[in-house]
Amino acid sequence: MANRIVRRILGESSKLLSNPQIGQIEIFLKGRQFEYRYLVVGNYKLIYRVSEKSNAIVILDVFDTRRNPGKMSVEED
């Protein structure tokens, strides 16, 4: 079961390589230093941002959507 979830998350994240803006803006992280986006994969949100310096995709969290969204947190560098 866990391997299947991991494969799904990795499969969805590969879509970001060709279209990094595909995810919606994460409203629970709005007003932070960076713009955070997410993709939904089953019961999980793949939280990421696009680095302005290198145009790299930085995956910050895989958040279980069954939890309280107020507990969503990312480390800003």
pLDDT tens string, the chain, 77 residues long: the values are: 789 988 998 998 889 999 999 999 999 898 888 999 999 999 999 999 998 888 899 999 998 888 877 766 666 65
HSE at residue 20, side-chain half, CA atoms within 13 A, is 14
What is residue 57's predicted lDDT score, i.e. its pLDDT? Answer: 93
Q: Is position 76 within any domain?
A: no
Q: Is position 53 within any domain?
A: yes
Q: Is position 71 within any domain?
A: no
The total number of structural domains in the chain stands at 1
Containing structural domain, residue 39 = 2-66
Residues 4 and 56: their CA atoms lie apart, in Å, by: 26
Nearest to 62 by CA among 76, 73, 46: 46
Residues 24 and 11: their CA atoms lie apart, in Å, by: 17
Residues 59 and 69: their CA atoms lie apart, in Å, by: 18
- pTM confidence score: 0.81
Q: Is position 40 within any domain?
A: yes
For 57, the token pair is: 């995709």
